[in-house]
Structure 1
Amino acid sequence: MIFYDENNLDIIEKDLRYLQLLAKQYPSISIASTEIINLQAILNLPKGTEHFITDVHGENESFTHMRRNASGVIKRKIDDVFGNSLREQQKSKLATLIYYPEQKLELIKQTENNLEDWYKITLYQLIQLCKNICSKYTRSKVRKALPQDFAYIIEELLHEQDDRVDKQAYYNGIIKTIIDIDRAGEFIITISNVIQRLVVDRLHIIGDIYDRGPGADIIMEALMNHHSVDIQWGNHDILWMGAAAGCEACICNVLRISLRYANLRTIEDGYGINLLPLATFAMEFYGEDLCEGFTPKTLDKNISENELALLAQMHKAISILQFKIEGQIIKRHTEFQMDDRLLLDKIDIEKGEIELGEEKYKLNDTSFPTVDWNDPHKLSEREEDLIEKITRSFVNSEKLQRHIKFLYSKGSMYLRYNSNLLFHGCIPLNEDGSFKEVKIGNIKYSGKALLDRVDRAARDSYFFKNGTQLKEYGMDLMWFLWCGPDSPVFGKDRMTTFERYFIDDKSTHYENKNYYYKYRDNEKIIENILEEFNLDPNTSHMINGHIPVKTKEGESPIKANGKLLVIDGGFCKAYQPQTGIAGYTLIYNSYGLLLTSHGPFSAIKNAVKEDSDILSSTIILEHVVKRKRVADTDMGIELRKQIADLEKLLIAYRKGLIKEEIGEIKK
């Protein structure tokens, strides 16, 4: 603590205006002193648990389960509290009840013979578990987490003292009354939700909430209801952010990916975006086209052949529209250095060939009914009308706009938090491992400055008025971030979408990764990046997602001697054949870092019915003998600043520089 005295009154007088504002919140010596004592006590509490998840890609059921079970933290707490006093089956039932209290209670009511006894036993178990979890928090913080209905009762039960025999009857009476007045079910739901909330202090989402899976909108709703979350934007998030801002190229890419995976639930049901104009357009221009290269990738056997044929036509229609609009952006921005992606004008339609560099390749599809070969990147009147209608649907989707605003309010390109550097993709590097300069506008940026500049441009694209130069450039840059060379969220030299659709020669499909991925195991390079972001390389880590770790081929998520952790292990089902697992998550608690690999998750209904959990394997990355305290965290730094300010306020009161307002204090 810093105690100010008469020798540094000049510091207090300099900050007097601020201290007068602070005095409105703490209007007396007594109140200010109490707050100092409270904050000082918080500094000595154990550090809160952080939960890291990345690349969920719309897999809402897997994400929901992982969020509710906190990557196994709740199960470990049950083991800690009950040890051998409960059988494994009983522990699994209790865990499932905490994850899904409403659904599990419905099953219990149908199968349990003596419901009153079950309520009594379960309530005691939940209270014991909640007491253990709450022990690392102040009463004030726990109180704020309690819902109003049961706040007083839960607080009384949580602070029951086992050695106070004279109060046992009182506590037993509370439990009995809860059961007698038929509120046990609601109480169980409430305390289960409290456990879920308090077991993890902060949730970090390291990018790519959107695309591929069916429920990105469901995930966003859950995140908006989470008590403490931050998001580091991934390339797929950037794409949807650009689409919500009205960037036509981003909108085309969003629709193309959704059609590629036959996943229109998020588009149509989630966000109410009308695809009828696209379907009508596709049937008119591609109705006679088999569109074989555009047949969606889907495991859904309920989709009929006619539906698949229409989806393929829509898929091709939006892809051609995408290539045209992207070509216009490339021509507008020579600084993007993407002329090699101008491909429609490299096609010899009569020969059915395309020229890439010095090589010519045969096209597997020469049906381009909407392309004017005199000006291949020009949109027809029908295409202009179509993209205008679709853009209007994106911009006017209330739910989409609400979700994207949340992404901006809780998100960023990177985050420094408790000595960890979190970002989704990469920091662009040169061949020698130095920071690569990337031109944004007329200025070149590298390292931290590049990510800071891109973050500002992303906000310009959304928040500036339509028609302004900053917004127009920002929207074009959002598309560049999605697929441009040296984009920190893409990390490759090109996106070979056209080649994958139209050229069978797979040598043209290859995308070169940025040199960052070559150096991910180089401890010195990773230390340089940490220093670039003003972090101590001896105590800090980098945490990324983006590129799935091919675990089944022996690749490790732990790189650079533990300085870098790559936790994309295939949350998305489409990646699981490559990774061999169904995702990594990371837990950072007061004892250290735990990396967990997860098996596939079937469905929530199976978990509820069978008490099944995700099969997980945990590796202890770091373990400290002395628990980390709040004082050792970023919050600790802030609390110490608050304490210092309050100490200055005390001196100001005692020296008469600010008058106490004791008479106006409200009771």
Structure 2
Amino acid sequence: MTFCDENNIELIKNDLRYLELLAKQYPDVSCASTEIINLQAILNLPKSTEHFISDIHGEYESFTHMLKNASGVIKRKIDDIFGNSLRESEKSNLATLVYYPEQKLDLIKRTEDNLDDWYKITLYRLIELCRVVSSKYTRSRVRKALPSDFAYIIEELLHEQDGKINKHEYYNGIINTIIDLDRSPDFIIAIAKVIQKLIVDRLHIIGDIYDRGPGAEIIMEALMKHHCVDIQWGNHDILWMGAAAGSEACICNVLRISLRYANLNTIEDGYGINLLPLATFAMEAYENDPCKSFTPKTLDKQISKKDLVLLSKMHKAISIIQFKLEGQIIKKRPEFTMDDRLLLEKINYEKGTIDIYGKTYTLNDKNFSTIDPKDPYKLTPQEKCLIAKLKRSFVHSEKLQRHIRFMYSKGSMYLVYNSNLLYHSCIPLNEDGTFKEARIGDKKYTGKSLLDKYDTLAREAYFFKNDSSKKIYAMDMMWYLWCGPDSPEFGKNRMTTFERYFVNDKQTHIENKNPYYKYRDDEVLCKNILKEFNLDPTSSHIINGHIPVKTKEGESPIKANGRLLVIDGGFCRAYQPQTGIAGYTLIYNSYGLLLTSHEPFESIRKAIEEEKDILSSTIILEHVVARKRVEDTDIGAELKKQIKDLEMLLVAYRKGLIKENK
């Protein structure tokens, strides 16, 4: 101990009020000493496993399976433990049982001839798997993860000692009694869930839970039940957060995207948002308009011709309202410097043409029945009424508000954790690779300070009092974060939504990426970013997603000599024809970093019935000779601070500065 010299005594005296509070938790020398010993022991445990997933985009079946199989960690652990002692079919059966214990047990009960024997063999295998998985945690930590019904029994079985003859019958007796009392199914379900909970200590979601796929709300429910998760907001998440806060422009974008992909499940069934007013308005306002440019991308969905006509009209109706509302924001906020997006005033409504990028283009859809050419950004009375109803639905959706509050409580623009920098898209850069300066209010921000400011504004948009000027500004900023040229979430110079709908020339559809994407393979640039966020540039990593890695074209997710890792490989089915795979995930355990690429997932039903796991390929990015310990992590740094405080408390007790309460 190093706190006994005179200088440290003065330091202790200065911290006496804090130490007196600490003394209430550790009232004597014995309690403080015991806690120091416990914390010191924890520092020497192996670092726990972190799991990184990005760009889920509502694909809840793939996400659910990825969460349950921990990107192949459970299967690899089964291989390590049982090796050649089990056939591959037996390993697959055991893995599927851990992933989906309830459903798999129902199947086993219908197909297994000697159920008691199967229970006995399976229980022993699950206990052995759980024993290995739990070995990197303290008994106290494992105890907290155990279900109350079986906590004592599981703890006894986990700490069986090989070779202890006297206890061998005791353990066999426990297993036999579980089977005799017909508690085997419940016990298997309980221990499978303990394995799932302990196999990964922390889950990192690097943005874009929402849009395109059919089950974002299902994913959010799963995340809310997860034992330890953080979220780095993606541009699609920001959009939904803005919509939940009441931003009308964000609400229109959310609905437009849902209609574009014929995906109204999350809107209507998931969040109970009533789209009947939109359907009624669209059928009246666009009754004689075929809305061909707004035919949804159905992918593999089976949709009747009648429904497609209605969806197309709804799609166009909300898109036109979106362009009007966005124009109002751009005119109100000149500091956004987005005048190039004021396209409705560039249309010649008589000729059906538009003047953009120094050229005149013929529009493929010339029907603008709800636009007044003299005041193109003005909503009609019917549109005002409609948007008010939609806003009420979003703001008063109990489930949506619950999910978005969770998004705020567990989320942020970026996260620094265990020497890794996590953010969804980019750090805005200039053409020469320097940090780009953005003016917000009367101040300028770059790099880390820019993301910190955007994080604050995102919270103000949701939590500030309704209709206050600060809340309205922050809500406008949420829309800017979705599509603004200096947004670290968007990462492009413009969003060419209008052009994609109305202009056939694909040159007008181009969205130029921020220079960040040109430089992100530059190790010097990545090290500069790491330094900006106070990380060691020689050992830290940047982890982000946002733009799918086109693996089929030979693109690598590993950038800048391993300093930057992109883990968006095409979770969303709409991207898979471009990427050639179905996503990357990352595992960071005590041995190093593992990057895993995944083939498209068929279905949970096939995973259970046919034991079809996701086919994955793993690349070892870094492998350390000496395993990382808890003392090498951020948690370790916190534990060391606690140990120091407790050591100071011990000195205070021994010097009589604080009296023991025995």
TM-score range, shorter chain: over 0.9
1:597 corresponds to which residue? Answer: 597
TM-superposition CA deviations, 1:526-579 (whole Å, max 9, x none) = 110000010010010000100000000000000000000001000000000010
2:251 corresponds to which residue? Answer: 251
In structure 2, the gaps of 5 or more residues are none
| Contact in 1 for aligned 2:3/2:9 (Cα 8 Å) | no
| Contact in 2 for aligned 1:5/1:651 (Cα 8 Å) | no
| Contact in 2 for aligned 1:394/1:400 (Cα 8 Å) | yes
Alpha carbons of 1:514 and 1:301: their partners in 2 closer, same or farther (altered >3 Å)?
closer
Q: What's the TM-score, normalizing by structure 1?
A: 0.98
Distance 2:493 2:473 in 1: 21
1:231 corresponds to which residue? Answer: 231
Deviation at 1:357, TM superposition (A): 3.5
2:534 maps to a residue whose letter is N
Deviation at 1:6, TM superposition (A): 4.8
Question: Secondary structure, in 3 states, of the residue corresponding to 2:136?
Answer: coil
2:49 corresponds to which residue? Answer: 49
1:567 corresponds to which residue? Answer: 567
Distance 2:528 2:294 in 1: 44
Distance 1:145 1:115 in 2: 28
Runs of 4+ in 1 over 3 A off after TM superposition: 1-7
Does 1:112 find its partner at 2:107? no
Correspondence 1:232-631 to 2 at 5 A: 232-631=232-631
Q: Which moved more, 1:291-300 or 1:608-617?
A: 291-300
Deviation at 1:302, TM superposition (A): 2.9
| Contact in 1 for aligned 2:256/2:319 (Cα 8 Å) | yes
2:343 maps to a residue whose letter is L
Distance 1:513 1:4 in 2: 59
Question: Secondary structure, in 3 states, of the residue corresponding to 1:361?
Answer: strand
Distance 1:72 1:571 in 2: 16
Deviation at 1:147, TM superposition (A): 1.0
Distance 1:308 1:596 in 2: 38
1:58 corresponds to which residue? Answer: 58
Deviation at 1:442, TM superposition (A): 2.5
Question: Secondary structure, in 3 states, of the residue corresponding to 1:573?
Answer: coil
- C-alpha RMSD over aligned residues: 0.8
Distance 2:18 2:333 in 1: 47
Alpha carbons of 1:378 and 1:4: their partners in 2 closer, same or farther (altered >3 Å)?
farther
2:158 maps to a residue whose letter is L
TM-superposition CA deviations, 1:565-620 (whole Å, max 9, x none) = 00100000000001000000000000000000000001101100001100000000
| Contact in 1 for aligned 2:246/2:391 (Cα 8 Å) | yes
1:10 maps to a residue whose letter is E
Question: Secondary structure, in 3 states, of the residue corresponding to 2:602?
Answer: coil
Deviation at 1:3, TM superposition (A): 4.3
The alignment of Structure 1 onto Structure 2 pairs a total of residues equal to: 662
Question: Secondary structure, in 3 states, of the residue corresponding to 2:361?
Answer: strand
Deviation at 1:441, TM superposition (A): 2.0
Deviation at 1:299, TM superposition (A): 2.7
Distance 2:359 2:220 in 1: 45
Alpha carbons of 1:319 and 1:138: their partners in 2 closer, same or farther (altered >3 Å)?
same
1:313 maps to a residue whose letter is K
Question: Secondary structure, in 3 states, of the residue corresponding to 2:168?
Answer: helix
Distance 1:429 1:470 in 2: 27
| Contact in 2 for aligned 1:540/1:563 (Cα 8 Å) | yes
Correspondence 1:110-149 to 2 at 5 A: 110-149=110-149
Deviation at 1:301, TM superposition (A): 4.2
| Contact in 1 for aligned 2:299/2:574 (Cα 8 Å) | no
Deviation at 1:5, TM superposition (A): 4.6
1:262 maps to a residue whose letter is A
1:190 corresponds to which residue? Answer: 190
Question: Secondary structure, in 3 states, of the residue corresponding to 1:518?
Answer: helix
Question: Secondary structure, in 3 states, of the residue corresponding to 2:79?
Answer: helix
TM-superposition CA deviations, 1:207-238 (whole Å, max 9, x none) = 00000000000000100110111000000000
Distance 1:403 1:652 in 2: 46
2:593 maps to a residue whose letter is L
Distance 1:301 1:74 in 2: 33
2:24 corresponds to which residue? Answer: 24
Alpha carbons of 1:310 and 1:4: their partners in 2 closer, same or farther (altered >3 Å)?
farther
Deviation at 1:7, TM superposition (A): 4.5
Deviation at 1:369, TM superposition (A): 1.2
Deviation at 1:158, TM superposition (A): 0.3
Distance 2:386 2:21 in 1: 55
| Contact in 2 for aligned 1:2/1:644 (Cα 8 Å) | no
1:76 corresponds to which residue? Answer: 76
| Contact in 2 for aligned 1:363/1:503 (Cα 8 Å) | yes
Distance 1:357 1:607 in 2: 51
Distance 1:128 1:34 in 2: 30
Q: Give the fraction of aligned pairs with identical amino acids, expressed as a percent.
A: 75
1:665 corresponds to which residue? Answer: none
Distance 2:300 2:546 in 1: 26
Distance 2:472 2:278 in 1: 25
TM-superposition CA deviations, 1:132-162 (whole Å, max 9, x none) = 0111110010001111111110000000001
Distance 1:545 1:372 in 2: 41
Deviation at 1:468, TM superposition (A): 1.2
Deviation at 1:438, TM superposition (A): 1.3
Deviation at 1:27, TM superposition (A): 1.5
| Contact in 2 for aligned 1:523/1:560 (Cα 8 Å) | yes
Q: Which moved more, 1:379-388 or 1:652-661?
A: 652-661
TM-superposition CA deviations, 1:611-643 (whole Å, max 9, x none) = 110000000000011000000011110000000
2:11 maps to a residue whose letter is I
1:642 corresponds to which residue? Answer: 642
1:9 corresponds to which residue? Answer: 9
Question: Secondary structure, in 3 states, of the residue corresponding to 1:614?
Answer: coil
In structure 1, the gaps of 5 or more residues are 663-667
1:418 maps to a residue whose letter is N
Question: Secondary structure, in 3 states, of the residue corresponding to 2:203?
Answer: strand
1:648 maps to a residue whose letter is M
Alpha carbons of 1:354 and 1:659: their partners in 2 closer, same or farther (altered >3 Å)?
same
